[in-house]
């Protein structure tokens, strides 16, 4: 498979999975509002978008496997830097919360931070090989 085909397949897979993810999220949100507070089905509904999210992981793994060796290295270095930054950042903020009275923050921040971190770090790592 050529690099172009690999990219095209990745975007097609991600598009399908993103549509399924959005549909699952909207469905779960709508259905949970119909259920009473504390109903155990609410947990099932909250976890429903995880199924298409697994598809996202599969699409990413397949994409990275289709890259050539330098591109794989760039992606894996980016993942390592972003992951380490998020782990250290979240633990540090945990200490600030516990000992300095910082306010609690939503777990969504980690996901958004990961995406933002990726978009900043990836071009920098890529440039180091240019």
Partner 1 sequence: MNNRIKVLRAERDWTQQDLADRIEVSRQTVNAIEKGKYDPSLPVAFRIAQIFDCRIEDVFQP
| Interacting residue ranges for partner 1, rule: CB under 8 A | 3, 68-71, 73, 126, 128-130
Nearer to partner 1, 55 or 66 (CB): 66
* Cβ at position 89, least distance to partner 1 in Å: 29
**DSSP character at residue 35:** S
* Cβ at position 3, least distance to partner 1 in Å: 6
Q: To which residue do tokens 């919360």 refer?
A: 97
Q: What's the CA gap between 113 and 124, in Å, rounded?
A: 17
* Cβ at position 66, least distance to partner 1 in Å: 11
Nearer to partner 1, 34 or 128 (CB): 128
Query: Is-contact 125 81, C-beta < 8 A?
Result: yes
E-only strand ranges, the chain = none
């Amino acid at each position: 498979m050529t690099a172009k085909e690999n990219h095209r397949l990745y975007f097609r897979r991600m598009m399908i999975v993103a549509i399924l993810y959005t549909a699952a999220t909207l469905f779960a949100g709508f259905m949970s509002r119909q259920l009473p507070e504390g109903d155990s089905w609410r947990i099932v509904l909250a976890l429903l978008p995880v199924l298409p999210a697994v598809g996202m992981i599969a699409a990413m793994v397949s994409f990275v496997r289709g890259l050539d060796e330098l591109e794989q290295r760039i992606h894996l270095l980016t993942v390592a830097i972003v992951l380490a930054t998020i782990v250290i950042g979240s633990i540090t903020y945990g200490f600030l919360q516990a000992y300095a009275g910082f306010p609690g923050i939503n777990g969504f921040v980690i996901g958004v931070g990961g995406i933002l971190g990726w978009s900043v770090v990836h071009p920098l790592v890529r440039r180091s090989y240019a």
